Each structure stands twice: as structure tokens, then as C-alpha cells.
């Protein structure tokens, strides 16, 4: 899904499922909101490849190793400076776990991107090798979607929004339960 909405949709789907399994109410909603922008993260190699000749689109930045490393750095920054600001509102991870929460959100968002690219490359872009350097073959690519297919992109986006909406609705429900 080269399309931004397709990646956001896949990110929302993954984040909604993980947050639903791992967190409750507004904490779950915060997890989805925190991770969603990072469903676009690996495509920074489009810009990086213009600045640095050694960087290729769908290269090292589109690997689980890179996404994990970036999640630790970005997640730690978010946990230290962003999560506490929203404490008591949307981002309310259980005490002591804001690092797990923020790193997890970035990681899930980033992984969803690799997964979407695995399903859609290599129509108009090189195949991704998400398991590099552990697996150097490209057999993990399953080309099931056309990159710019509007049905796929909008379908993913609307499904992601619907799932995020369920998490939102549950968070609101939690509130009314507390109020009652």
C-alpha cells in the first residue's frame, strides 16, 4: 500500500487489536493514537534515499530490525516527554509501564507498515525484505494487492477507523461507568 491511507488503515487495525488485548478504556485508545502516525515510519526512506545514496527505498529501513531499534528510541522519547503530559486523560498506562506502552505502540505501528508492504510489493516498488539480516531471501513477499488499488486502500482505512471507533466507544463507555 504505497497509499498513505492504506498504511494508516493497516496501522489502525493492528493497533486496535493489540490495544484491545493489552489495555482498557482510554489507555487502549491512547495506544492507538500514539502508534498510528508510525504506521508511516518506514517510508522515511523515500526522503532518506534522496539525501544519502546508500539508503534505498524498501531497504534496511523496511526491516523488523530497523523498526525495533527506531521504536526503542522514539518510544523512550514519547514515554519520557509525551505520555506524562497526557496522564489522566488519554494516555494512562498502568504505573511503571509507560516505556512498554510507548515503545509497543511505535513498534506495532511500524510492523503493520512492513506487513502492508509485504502484501503489496513489488508492483511498482522493490520487494521488501522484512526479516533481513536473518533471512535474506525475498520469499516472504506475498503479492496479493495492487499498490494503488483504491478498494484495498479505502477498505483498509475504513476497517481501521471502524476498529478504532470500537476502542473509542469502549473508552467512552468506561467513563460513563465511572460516572454512574
Please say which residue, 51 or 177, places its beta carbon nearer to Zn ion: 51
Please say which residue, 27 or 63, places its beta carbon nearer to Zn ion: 63
Please say which residue, 25 or 42, places its beta carbon nearer to Zn ion: 42
The pattern of x and - marking residues 106 through 145 that bind Zn ion according to CB under 5 A reads: -----------x----------------------------
- Rounded to the nearest 10°, the torsion over CA 151, 157, 163, 168 is -150
| Contact between residue 155 and residue 6 where contact means Cβ atoms under 8 Å apart | no
Length of the chain: 180
Q: Determine if 45 is a binding residue for Zn ion (CB under 5 A).
A: no
Residues 6+ apart with CB under 8 A from 179: none
CA distance 17 to 42: 21
CA distance 98 to 90: 13
Q: How does DSSP classify residue 87?
A: T
CB 116 to Zn ion: min, Å: 7
Residue from 3, 43, 66, 78 in contact with Zn ion (CB under 5 A):
43
Sole window of 38-46, 83-91, 130-138, 146-154 interacting with Zn ion (rule: CB under 5 A): 38-46
Please say which residue, 3 or 117, places its beta carbon nearer to Zn ion: 117
Tell me how crowded residue 110 is: count the other CB atoms within 10 A of its CB.
27
- Total residues in contact with Zn ion, by rule CB under 5 A: 3
CB 143 to Zn ion: min, Å: 14
Positions in the binding site for Zn ion (CB under 5 A): 42-43, 117
Amino acid at each position: 500500500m504505497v497509499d498513505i491511507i492504506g498504511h494508516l488503515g493497516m496501522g489502525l487495525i493492528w493497533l486496535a487489536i493489540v490495544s484491545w488485548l493489552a489495555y482498557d478504556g482510554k489507555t487502549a485508545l491512547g495506544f492507538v493514537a500514539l502508534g498510528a502516525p508510525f504506521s508511516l515510519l518506514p517510508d522515511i526512506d523515500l526522503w532518506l534515499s534522496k539525501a544519502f545514496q546508500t539508503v534505498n527505498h524498501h531497504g534496511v529501513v523496511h526491516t523488523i530490525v530497523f523498526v525495533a531499534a527506531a521504536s526503542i528510541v522514539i518510544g523512550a522519547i514519547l514515554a519520557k516527554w509525551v505520555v506524562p503530559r497526557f496522564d489522566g486523560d488519554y494516555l494512562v498506562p498502568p504505573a511503571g509501564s509507560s516505556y512498554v506502552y510507548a515503545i509497543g505502540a511505535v513498534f506495532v505501528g511500524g510492523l503493520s507498515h512492513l506487513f502492508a508492504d509485504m502484501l503489496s510489493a513489488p508492483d511498482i516498488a522493490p520487494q521488501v525484505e522484512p526479516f533481513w539480516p536473518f533471512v535474506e531471501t525475498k520469499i516472504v513477499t506475498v503479492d496479493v494487492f495492487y499498490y494503488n488499488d483504491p478498494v484495498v486502500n479505502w477498505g483498509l482505512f475504513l476497517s481501521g477507523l471502524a476498529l478504532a471507533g470500537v476502542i473509542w466507544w469502549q473508552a467512552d463507555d468506561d467513563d460513563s461507568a465511572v460516572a454512574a
